[in-house]
Amino acid sequence: MKQKRAYKYRIYPTDEQKQVLARIFGCCRFVYNWALRQKTDAFYKEQQRLYYKDLSEALTQLKKQPEYTWLSEVSSVPLQQALRHLDKAFLHFFEGHAEYPTFKKRHDQQSATYTDNAFRWDGTDLMLAKMHAPLDIVWSCPLPKGAKPSSITITKDCASRYFVSILVEEDIPQLPSTDRSIGADLGLKSFVVLSDGEVIGNPKFFREDEKKLAKAQRRHAKKKKGSKNREKARKKVAKIHARITDRRRDFSHKLSTRLIRENQTICVEDLAVKNMVKNHKLSKAISDVSWSEFVSQLEYKARWYGRHLVKIDKWYPSSKRCFDCGHILDSLALDVREWTCPECVVHHDRDINAAQNIHAVGLTVFEACGEAVRPGTVKAKPGTPQRNRKAS
């Protein structure tokens, strides 16, 4: 079965290419923000919902106005794609997985997506529309032989590094099936706790970086607005942030690949942002991002390799429920790491108990759906029977 897979590489654009990219990033950002404004206004003023088609037509009209002719000076494809990205952001919002879309800022990560009518790939070189030379790509791993990229995305992160992400369709060989399954609780104290008792992700691994980041942020905040030193401090913050993101992503890739290899079915909690406890602490913000990245990695790797990921809705009281007897506590404060069940007197480690519950309910959901489910993600909906049974 053909699967879509993105390959990401570092690129080193020439000064000329940097200028072209800066313009295209700026135009994409403008179009995205303009469309977000249109959508929001249309809804508040006329209770009307604008879709991609409406906005695409409005954009064509906008480009005809004399003060917006500069929008026609760049390739039109990434601008259309910016509208698609906004559509996706709204979809995530309506599904409850993300907050309401916000305006993109100049200092955020920048991106532009080109579909295959706006770039040329000859098997060695990648050439973008309106550019005179191919991109200088660091091929850290090869693209599959004969790959035909369907779209490519250029990004510039906050630390001013450029990347290209190449989307290709390929045959990914499925892993031999196994009868092992596991539940994973995404914790605050450790990154992940498994239902078999394994605790993964020593927080010390991340904490040192976080301290450095907090220090750099404090320094940045103290500098005078608009000053050169403030800009320098901002770059420093961005650099540390980028390193943390890279390290975490690497960690999460290794772990998700391992779990997918070892297990046929993996059960996790669905992390609807909406339902998450609001906490603006830095470390919490970073964990949120890496968790959702981890879950999405499990999601697509399950699809690739013929495994199953079962997502349990947040309504399920995984922490408060005793795995051994099914008793549910009225409340359990976040800082309580261990507790004893008043009903059956079993002593629980908070996270392992939660992982065991997630595992058990996940398997129940999975069995209820039958073996006929396609590889990929299975979602537990409210009302799913929660039998009091132990996972084997």
Active site residues: 185, 269, 351
Minimum Å gap between C-beta 344 and Zn ion is: 3
Cβ closer to Zn ion: 209 or 324?
324
Minimum Å gap between C-beta 350 and Zn ion is: 14
Per-residue burial over 25-47, b if 16 or more Cβ lie within 10 Å, else e, is bebbbbbbbbbbebbeebeeeee
- Asked if residue 392 lies in contact with residue 356, where contact means CB atoms within 8 angstroms, the answer is no
Cα separation, 355 vs 20, whole angstroms:
49
Cβ closer to Zn ion: 284 or 320?
320
Looking at residue 304, its amino acid is W
Cβ closer to Zn ion: 339 or 366?
339
Cβ closer to Zn ion: 91 or 344?
344
Which long-range contacts link 165-169 to residues 24+ away (Cβ below 8 Å)?
A: 165/6, 165/7, 165/8, 165/9, 166/6, 166/7, 166/8, 166/9, 166/126, 167/4, 167/5, 167/6, 168/4, 168/5, 168/6, 168/7, 168/143, 168/144, 169/2, 169/3, 169/4, 169/5
Q: By C-alpha distance, which of 208, 134, 191 is closest to 164?
A: 134
- Asked if residue 137 lies in contact with residue 143, where contact means CB atoms within 8 angstroms, the answer is no
Cβ closer to Zn ion: 55 or 341?
341
DSSP letters spanning 52-84:
HHHHHHHHHHHHHSGGGGGGGGS-HHHHHHHHH
CA distances to 136, 238, 293, 364 from 163, in Å:
10, 16, 18, 42
Q: By C-alpha distance, which of 74, 147, 149 is closest to 119?
A: 149
Cβ closer to Zn ion: 341 or 355?
341
Cβ closer to Zn ion: 185 or 270?
185
Minimum Å gap between C-beta 340 and Zn ion is: 9
Surface-to-core class of residue 355, CB atoms within 10 Å of its CB (0-12 exposed, 13-18 middle, 19+ buried): buried
Minimum Å gap between C-beta 345 and Zn ion is: 7
Residues facing residue 114 across a β-bridge: 152
Minimum Å gap between C-beta 292 and Zn ion is: 32
Minimum Å gap between C-beta 342 and Zn ion is: 8
Binding residues for Zn ion, rule: CB under 5 A, are 322, 324-325, 327, 341, 343-344
Minimum Å gap between C-beta 283 and Zn ion is: 32
CA distances to 98, 158, 164 from 292, in Å:
11, 20, 22
